[in-house]
Structure 1
Amino acid sequence: MKNFKESSTSNPLSNFVNCIVFISCLIFGIYIILSLALVPNALLLWQYHSANSVHNSSSTIITSLEHIAFGIAASDKSWSRRKEYVRLWWRPEVMKGCVFLEQMPPISENDRVSLPPICISADTSRFKYTNKYGRRSAIRVARVVSETVALMNNNSDVRWFVFGDDDTVFFPDNLVKTLQKYDHGLWYYIGTNSEYFETNKGNSFEMAFGGAGFAISSPLAKVLGKVLDSCLIRYHGVYGSDARIHICLAELGVSLTHEPGFHQMDLVGNSFGLLTAHPTRPLVTLHHLDKVNPFFPNMTTLEALSQLVKTAKVDPERILQITVCCDQLSSSTFSVSWGYAIQQWKGNVLVPDIIRARETYRSWNRNKYYNFDTERFDPNTCKRPDVFSFDGISFSSDGTMSIYEKVDRICPNDNKVVEIRVFSRKLNLDAKQVRTPTCKYHHHNDCRFWKIAVLISDA
């Protein structure tokens, strides 16, 4: 024992090595602490990865409207008129959220029971804004995200935060259907690009446009709410509110999850060519409703939207979905955009040629480059398809019957069809296998006009 003690007495070399190791560990620890302090999002990223390492993604409760909180950006100048858009889709009995304004407007009893609550945006005068092409209101609108998150701070049921403008019409059932595909416990930023190429190019095609609306999962929204103000301070030269959200999320390492059911509608005039080429995804939103013509003839914009929203409630996932049917007996091809319009083409037209968007609209700016595949309408009106506009819906034991009336044409032709009836069953876009619908055409001559009844079977 005595020899052991003598051999373990202080060794100068061993003490030096221990000292070096201790100093190295101390320096490394100080470096980590300073790094987390200097990079605001680093600690949050570390917390995110730690939280998600134990997250159970197999939730047994399906996401519904009760799990979504809405933040709607509005302004004093537009709210008195655009609140009617919001009234079309808002469901006060199940939805939660707020409309953010600069000051409290007059509120009628009808507004109180049929519209979202009004929240007053916080003062943003402390933030610098240096973009000479934009407006300072972009800062206030961007902070709708953090203010909505703070508003729902004590609500543990919120899985998704969804944001849009006061001229954005949501289709709530399809919004839920879209969000159900994703794990709300992970970080998700979901939305769509603009139809206008140049604005996407300036944002690396990874920005969700705020007017089209976008969704942020709850854990990501809470992290974003903590760092958003620092982003607003650093990126004072950015143009819009949605660009600020995009940049801040990019700093957190989150990229956009593209969902084409959201529609920015960066176009002007007749949107027929875009709406009749809707992708096979549920229709989630429509924006810029003041910039496009009413969707149906002989109606105001609000009346046309009301009809579209009402029809969508009958069969949410089918609204605007395209079905192409070829009838060899009449030598016609029918393109059915359910709940909106039908086009009848002469002859056998290839499906890829039908589903391409026709440029019935004008470009947002002079530059006519779009962010999707388009084709110009034939300048000869006699070579264009006959168009039938949605006129109503009825119910039967076999499903629903939607009626489409012929739109007047300048070019006379020998097509005497003036009405098309479409029979369908409720659509479920979750089907693993998409089948080509079978069609039957029944021609009836009642001495006044020809009718075509199109039977669409999903079986």
Structure 2
Amino acid sequence: MNQTRRKRRPDPSLSRLDSLSPEMLFPAKSPALTSSRIRNIFLLLVFCFIIYIIFSYGTFRREKISSIARSLTVFSTRRRHLLFSIAASHDSWLRRSSYVRLWYTPESTRAVVFLDRGGFESDLTLPPVVVSKDVSRFPYNFPGGLRSAIRVARVVKETVDQGDKDVRWFVFGDDDTVFFVDNLVTVLSKYDHRKWYYVGSNSEFYDQNVRYSFDMAFGGGGFAISVSLAKVLAKVLDSCLMRYSHMYGSDSRIFSCLAELGVTLTHEPGFHQIDVRGNIFGLLCAHPLSPLVSLHHLDAVDPFFPKMNRTESVARLIGASSLDSGRILQQSVCYDSLNTVTVSVVWGYAIQVYEGNKLLPDLLTLQKTFSTWRRGSGVQSNYMFSTRDYPRDPCGRSLVFFLDSVGSDGSEGTWSNYILHRVGNCHRAEAVKRLERIKVLSHKLDHDTQQMVSPRRQCCDISSPYNKSMVINIRQCMPDELIAMNT
């Protein structure tokens, strides 16, 4: 049987495939679809990253924001946020109210005076007077001491219990304490009043600190307590007064009670107890770089300026401070290399002109112009700072020029004039023997955050030539400038 080969008929589907173009067989992905997917993936990654940041760094960010907020609050402290409590007696207030009148300003300073008894008429130039409450129930056992220490210590509680509004700091002092209020505001602005702070300084006399404590703020120099701490202290103070009946002074009782609360002293060297006597020229001429905050024991020291009484002297110092509070008693040293002259400027107080090259560390050491606080032949002159001898012979001392006048140029600049204080008939070097007046030019010293945390002494230049008068310009030092004579 013959077999015939059958022809295979072409598959119609294959012929259709042959007719299709490559683009039809393998279509490209939709551009719109690809962009949408990429965008969605990107947004998803961003969202995940944000969630990661929130959970990983949320605590840090909250603390950082909180820290910034606290800083803004702290540095907005003003005079109205301070409440001064002045401890006095009826008899002492008669003599010393003139000191308080020098620094108290009714329009901007909040203060109250606590007396043991009344009898004074209202005086708008002085703080209001309050009679302290009875403290006879509290024991006092210090031999030869004064029971008034209990009343003065309890001023802290009575002040807080008044309930004054918008108080950040309670400041305590005596009626012979002179405060430089703007500088105190600057100093306290470093600290957060919502935390517990006890701010002040100890005595200049070493033996006083040994007797009481190196960590106690001496009350006459003044001390400040933050409002948050003061409210707690007021609640527990009476129990402390019962427990510390054997102590001498009011400041010892406050210190002991704060110690029981776990609080230690924050030292600020601008508070001055002035536990020395006599001429404190050497003490004032070597003030630390910190702003001057207070001066005490004014009745035990000589007037600061010649031919003035104590009140007039303090008034002149405060008058200079009103123009540039941050610069008062700040020391700058400059040199005239050509004539080998050294000049130490203590702004707002005095200028000393030395013949020869005096090294800066020597000029920063206090001249011992004063005597010890405690009297007696066996008392040693031990202080909390280094001292150098003050020549007995006036001709062996520097030329001294005391502040005569001070003013402003209408902007940030100030000028101050100093007049020679003549002592003895001394032979002086040719360069300075006719010198009678010195004028100092400066810009207002702003104790900003950097200056307070990391202070640096300023430099000065002597304009030459000079004969009867000299002009000095105080300025910021260059970054690598040394305060020394060019040799």
- TM-score, normalised to structure 1, is 0.83
Summarize deviations over 1:257-312 as a string: whole Å, max 9, x none.
00000100111110100000100011100000101001100001111111111110
Distance 1:244 1:402, change over 3 A: same
Contact 2:332–2:344 (CA under 8 A) maintained in structure 1: yes
Please point out which of 262, 279, 297 is paired with 2:306.
297
Please point out which of 423, 438, 446 is paired with 1:428.
446
Distance 1:353 1:185, change over 3 A: same
| Residue aligning to 2:39 | none
| Residue aligning to 1:386 | 399
- Corresponding letter in the other structure for 2:180: F
**SS state of the match for residue 211, structure 1?**
helix
| Residue aligning to 2:285 | 276
Summarize deviations over 1:353-396 as a string: whole Å, max 9, x none.
00111110110013311111111213343222111111111333
Cα distance in 2, alignment partners of residues 235 and 360 from structure 1: 37
Kindly indicate whether residue 96 of structure 2 is the aligned counterpart of residue 96 of structure 1.
no
Please point out which of 158, 168, 190 is paired with 1:147.
158
| Residue aligning to 2:474 | 456
- Corresponding letter in the other structure for 2:131: I
Structure 1 unmatched runs, 5+: 1-53
Cα distance in 2, alignment partners of residues 149 and 133 from structure 1: 30
Contact 1:73–1:99 (CA under 8 A) maintained in structure 2: yes
Contact 1:359–1:375 (CA under 8 A) maintained in structure 2: yes
Contact 1:211–1:264 (CA under 8 A) maintained in structure 2: yes
- Corresponding letter in the other structure for 2:263: V
Cα distance in 2, alignment partners of residues 330 and 154 from structure 1: 60
Please point out which of 82, 87, 104 is paired with 2:101.
87
Kindly indicate whether residue 327 of structure 2 is the aligned counterpart of residue 326 of structure 1.
no
CA deviation after TM superposition for structure 1 residue 444, in Å: 4.5
Contact 1:296–1:304 (CA under 8 A) maintained in structure 2: yes
**SS state of the match for residue 70, structure 2?**
coil
Map 1:205-244 onto structure 2 (within 5 A): 205-244=214-253
Contact 2:277–2:371 (CA under 8 A) maintained in structure 1: yes
| Residue aligning to 1:25 | none
- Corresponding letter in the other structure for 2:106: P
**SS state of the match for residue 300, structure 2?**
coil
| Residue aligning to 2:127 | 116
- Corresponding letter in the other structure for 2:156: V
Contact 2:332–2:460 (CA under 8 A) maintained in structure 1: no
Runs of 4+ in 1 over 6 A off after TM superposition: none
CA deviation after TM superposition for structure 1 residue 60, in Å: 3.3
**SS state of the match for residue 409, structure 1?**
coil
Summarize deviations over 1:120-142 as a string: whole Å, max 9, x none.
10001101111013200000000
CA deviation after TM superposition for structure 1 residue 406, in Å: 0.8
Summarize deviations over 1:182-222 as a string: whole Å, max 9, x none.
01110000000111111111233000010000000001001
Contact 2:289–2:455 (CA under 8 A) maintained in structure 1: no
Distance 1:84 1:454, change over 3 A: same
- Corresponding letter in the other structure for 2:368: E
Map 1:36-435 onto structure 2 (within 5 A): 57-60=70-73, 62-108=76-122, 111=123, 113-151=124-162, 153=163, 155=165, 157-365=166-374, 366-396=379-409, 399-414=413-428, 415-430=433-448, 431=451, 434=456
Cα distance in 1, alignment partners of residues 395 and 351 from structure 2: 17
Summarize deviations over 1:373-422 as a string: whole Å, max 9, x none.
11121334322211111111133367111111111122512322111111
| Residue aligning to 2:37 | none
In terms of mean alpha carbon deviation, does 96-105 or 249-258 score higher?
96-105
Cα distance in 2, alignment partners of residues 102 and 284 from structure 1: 27
- Corresponding letter in the other structure for 1:256: L
**SS state of the match for residue 308, structure 1?**
helix
Contact 2:282–2:370 (CA under 8 A) maintained in structure 1: yes
- Corresponding letter in the other structure for 2:336: D
- Corresponding letter in the other structure for 1:147: E
- Corresponding letter in the other structure for 1:376: D
- Corresponding letter in the other structure for 2:147: R
| Residue aligning to 2:18 | none
CA deviation after TM superposition for structure 1 residue 95, in Å: 2.2
Contact 1:69–1:161 (CA under 8 A) maintained in structure 2: yes
Contact 2:458–2:475 (CA under 8 A) maintained in structure 1: no
Cα distance in 2, alignment partners of residues 411 and 199 from structure 1: 40
CA deviation after TM superposition for structure 1 residue 70, in Å: 1.1
Cα distance in 1, alignment partners of residues 460 and 353 from structure 2: 17
Distance 1:435 1:220, change over 3 A: closer
Distance 1:328 1:317, change over 3 A: same
Cα RMSD, aligned residues only: 1.7
Cα distance in 1, alignment partners of residues 261 and 457 from structure 2: 41
Cα distance in 2, alignment partners of residues 203 and 433 from structure 1: 30
Distance 1:435 1:214, change over 3 A: closer
Summarize deviations over 1:319-344 as a string: whole Å, max 9, x none.
00000001112211111010000011
| Residue aligning to 1:5 | none
CA deviation after TM superposition for structure 1 residue 98, in Å: 1.1
Distance 1:211 1:219, change over 3 A: same
**SS state of the match for residue 92, structure 2?**
helix
- TM-score, normalised to structure 2, is 0.79
**SS state of the match for residue 141, structure 1?**
helix
Contact 1:443–1:453 (CA under 8 A) maintained in structure 2: no
- Corresponding letter in the other structure for 2:463: Y
- Structure of greater Rg: 2
Cα distance in 1, alignment partners of residues 460 and 219 from structure 2: 39
**SS state of the match for residue 80, structure 1?**
helix
Contact 2:407–2:415 (CA under 8 A) maintained in structure 1: yes
Aligned residues: 397
CA deviation after TM superposition for structure 1 residue 154, in Å: 5.1
